[in-house]
Amino acid sequence: MSGPVDLHVGARVLMAFGPAVVVELGRHGPTVKDALGENQFIRWDHLSLAGIGEHGVDAIHRSLQPWWDSLSPQARADAIVKLEVVLEILTAHRDGHPLMAREGEPFFPFGEGFGASLTKRIEAMARQLTFEYSVDRVRVRRLLAGEVSKNSVAANTIRGWIKAWKAQGLRGLVDGRKTKGRQGFDVIDPRFVRIADEEFAQFDGTRSKVSLVEIERRILVRLKQEGIDDIDLPQRITQQYLSTRFAALGHTTKQHKSAALRRNSARANYPATHPGHFAVDVTRADNLVWDDVYERVYSVEIITIISIPSRVVVACRVVPRSANSLEVALALYDAMRPFSMVIENETSIDDFRWCGIPASLDFGDNPVSAHVSRVRTDRAIIGRHVKPGITPISLRADNGAIFLSRDLRALLLEWGVDLMPSRAGRPLDNTFVERWHDRLQAAYQSFGNGAGFKGRAVHERGRFVGWVGFEPLGSWRELQQHLHRFIAVDYHRNRHGGLKVPGIEDGNFTPLERFDMLHQVTGRVLAPQHPDLIYSLLPAKWLTPGHGGITFRGLTYDGDILDEIRGARPGTYRARDAKVPILFDPRDRSRIWHRSIHDDRIHELIWRDAHLLDAPLTDVIVDAARTLIQNRGGNGVVSRRNVTREIITAITQLTTAPTDEEWRGKLIRASMRHDQAILDHAEAQAARELLDPTAGAPTIGRIPRTASPAADFDTPAPDPAPFAIDFDAPFPSYDDEAS
């Protein structure tokens, strides 16, 4: 409504077929008598305020808007004149019926009361209009000036007016030539526009594309279902509107999705000025790596966490496919720790080492002295390179399952880190890491002079990629060391096109230089270091300690800390029972951990039969061993001690002589995760020893492999394992030992 409508009995309302008079006022709207003598009820919200000339109307029906207001005053005046002519011929009254009769009406021979035929009435009206034109000085001047071609009205012209009025009402009396080239989309009925917008809004990438004809059909069906039968749609402008909206959607469902999500996009970049704003993503490495135990080539994935404002890579891990939420949490653990790399010469290049111990240890109530490792911003390569550790504030990621998992979200909530997932269906929102994936191509191609490089797509792949006899291949550990060197020596020392400083737009800055600039503004951004920090990432399980230890997934663990928790009264750790929280690492099943409530330190519990292990004991192997036992007939066919012996036998046989390719792939991924777990826990154990020399040596079952038989890299081989197992020796006889 354009304004408040104040009607009274006798007021005039302009309807689709002419003026109508109000005969009754109701609570929800007036009742009017139209030009054909029929009563109609009109809702108040279907009327708008208006006035037309000296004999104007008080309101206009909504079906005429906004088309009527879009006409010029001359076009509206001409339409009203034609309407009066038509109504006087048919009803003998220029306004339609006796309630609105003007002085002298009816005149002969108009109307049906004089018995004249329609043709006689039309001819009489033609003579009447011709006489009026001849005495109209304005029209005579226009005729002399050439603006009009004739000063008479033919009977066929009036007959055409009557025919158009019967078909379209008042709209049929408007000369289309006066509206051509002048109308916009605002002349279309708003009810049609509303339904059309709702129909077009459904195409957001989730629905298949249909033709424009089908969309128009659906709109017309909706109009009929909603009872909108008084609508009139100009064909040309309506088709232009539908065509414009249809073209704006795009030609594919992907373009439909982009158009729908464009309404949610920002108008400026995210103002991330603190280095603690991170972005994370996982990508498949373009290099194949070699497993020297199972003698197989396989693919790995790379988890990268990058600081958005500085573009510093704060974490980079090589993990087996497919990555899980625990490995993302461990990458975040790396991002919080400062690392250093020492380069002495071209053959002596160290790997990243945790440099946050012991100056940055946090012991609860004790004061913390932050370890400030000045990042290296000079151009010298020989020397010490530092990867800063930063306290995370937010983590931007796509909508992958590993980033939206319950465990990772709970961890981020506990640490006070805001998870900022990309918009649905828009993984390219995380452009900071996507650009880093392109930068990784230089690292892939330079790894061992292209060892195992398979290209970004199939059409780039060489013929002998992955063939050990034709090219050297590196292990996953060597690939990770190579990426760390690339980050410290190449990426962090090279200019980054995304780093711009207002006022120095043409300046070239490296990620570490940008980090130093932000450090001057933000101050301390380092995370307080603690040797037990890694254990806050591990999942917990509530278990009941027994006299023989703690049983978890069929394995029994024991340690000195059990003397403390075994006799705890119910309700000490959990109100409803005597269970205690136990931390476990799915990558390494040989040990579990418990955080003491007395000193808030982590204590390790070792598997009782850990000395029999040579293969990595992970969930994959344990589940497979259970399947083998079930296929054999279950636990009831042998004694409990023999069952343990058969588990060890099954594990050893499967890891030393694999035959099934899928099983070998699972073992490789489990072995890779086990090796990485050993390194992670060894770092934490070494940090604990710096604080407490009596903590004991780190428990490492075996040293991870670092070289393959077909590769000759600069990385020196690690020290041999602290103990070895003779595979030819028979298993010990537990029955003889018991006797």
Side-chain-side CA neighbours of 153 within 13 Å: the count stands at 22
Nearest C-alpha neighbor of 595 from the set 616, 585, 581:
581
Could you tell me which residue, 246 or 657, shows the higher pLDDT?
Answer: 246
**Structure letter (DSSP) for residue 657:** S
Residue-wise pLDDT for 616-640, tens only, equals: 556 666 777 677 667 766 655 555 4
When computed from its CA atoms, the radius of gyration of the chain, rounded to whole angstroms, is 42
Q: Categorize the per-residue pLDDT at 207 as very low, low, confident or very high, splitting at 50, 70 and 90.
A: confident
Burial of residue 635 (CB within 10 Å: 0-12, 13-18, 19+) is: middle
Residue-wise pLDDT for 433-452, tens only, equals: 888 888 888 888 888 766 77
pLDDT at 312 over 60: yes
558 contacts 605 by C-beta, under 8 angstroms? yes
Q: What CA–CA distances, in Å, run from 433 to 53, 301, 355, 490, 543?
A: 68, 14, 25, 17, 40
The pLDDT value recorded for residue 221 is: 92
d(CA 211, CA 205): 15
Q: Which residue has the tokens 């003007």?
A: 102
d(CA 74, CA 8): 29
The two structure tokens encoding residue 521: 């503004």
Q: Categorize the per-residue pLDDT at 196 as very low, low, confident or very high, splitting at 50, 70 and 90.
A: very high
Least confident window among 17-21, 25-29, 53-57, 541-545: 53-57
| DSSP class per residue in 588-603 | EEEEEEEE-TTT--EE
Q: Categorize the per-residue pLDDT at 288 as very low, low, confident or very high, splitting at 50, 70 and 90.
A: confident
Mean pLDDT for the chain? 75
The pLDDT value recorded for residue 181 is: 55
Nearest C-alpha neighbor of 18 from the set 73, 90, 118, 120:
90
516 contacts 325 by C-beta, under 8 angstroms? no
DSSP strand pairing (394-397 vs 277-284): parallel
Residue 196 carries which side chain, given as an amino acid letter?
A
pLDDT at 483 over 60: yes
Domains of the chain: 12-178 (no CATH), 189-264 (no CATH), 277-522 (3.30.420.10), 538-605 (no CATH)
Encode 509-548 in three state secondary structure: CCHHHHHHHHHHHHCCCCCCECCCHHHHCCCEEEECCECC
593-606 CB burial, b ≥16 within 10 A, e <16: bbbeeeeebbbbbe
